[in-house]
């Protein structure tokens, strides 16, 4: 669990599916059983911020850790920065090899921070090396048609999407932020 470097410990049992009617609890429970990891199938959570993407991804990571699988979490920018730094320190091959050893990697926040060309190339390299061999879970706030905002090289972006969507479980989490809703409800309770 410590090696996974999860940002916060969030489990699927803690997720309130009644707050997110677009998300199928049955589908998430099935994923938590781990078959997608064995079959090296990607999982993509797509939706606006505050819709539970990171919570669900973290919950799948916790479930995989409980099954004794090697898991690693990173933000997209964090992964790209780690690989760029490794290149400057002449450690890129070693760092890429370490990422390849994880049975499941979780890449959060594709779409929040545009990547420089070299960072986008490294992200592609990590994804391409895992294609059909090892599982990846990703979250994004952008529809796939807008990923060129993050990965400006259109051909590279298309190739990355081709690999990450192949046989993927694509789960749309919606547009309504539960955090914003929670704040509004709290404010309304105070005024009544």
In order along its 192 residues, the chain shows pLDDT tens digits of: 999 999 999 999 999 998 888 899 999 999 999 999 999 999 999 999 999 999 999 999 999 999 999 999 999 999 999 999 999 999 999 999 999 999 999 999 999 999 999 999 999 999 999 999 999 999 999 999 999 999 999 999 999 999 999 999 999 999 888 777 777 777 788 877
Q: How far apart are CA 173 and CA 175, in angstroms?
A: 7
- Output the CA torsion 92→98→103→104 (10° steps): -60
- Domain positions in the chain are 2-191
Residue pair 87/118 in contact by the 8 Å Cβ criterion: yes
Kindly list the strands in the beta sheet with 71-75, ordered across the sheet, starting from the edge strand earlier in the chain: 71-75, 104-110, 135-140, 43-47, 169-174
Q: What's the predicted TM-score (pTM) here?
A: 0.93
Pick the CATH number of 2-191 from 1.10.510.10, 3.40.50.300, 3.40.50.1220, 1.10.645.10: 3.40.50.300
């Amino acid at each position: 669990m410590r090696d996974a470097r999860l940002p916060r410990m969030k489990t699927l049992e803690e997720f309130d599916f009644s707050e997110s009617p677009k998300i199928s609890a049955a589908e998430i429970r099935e994923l938590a059983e781990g078959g997608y990891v064995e079959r090296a199938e990607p999982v993509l959570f797509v939706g606006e911020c505050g819709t539970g993407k990171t919570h669900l991804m973290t919950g799948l990571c916790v479930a995989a850790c409980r099954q004794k699988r090697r898991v690693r979490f990173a933000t997209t920018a964090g992964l790209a920065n780690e690989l760029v730094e490794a290149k400057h320190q002449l450690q890129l091959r070693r760092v890429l090899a370490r990422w390849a050893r994880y049975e499941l990697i979780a890449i959060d926040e594709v779409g929040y921070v545009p990547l420089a060309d070299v960072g986008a190339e490294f992200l592609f390299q990590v994804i391409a090396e895992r294609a059909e061999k090892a599982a990846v879970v990703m979250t994004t706030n952008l529809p796939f048609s807008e990923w060129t905002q993050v990965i400006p090289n259109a051909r590279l972006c298309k190739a990355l999407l081709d690999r990450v969507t192949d046989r993927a479980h694509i789960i749309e989490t919606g547009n309504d932020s539960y955090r914003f809703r929670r704040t509004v409800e709290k404010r309304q309770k105070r005024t009544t």
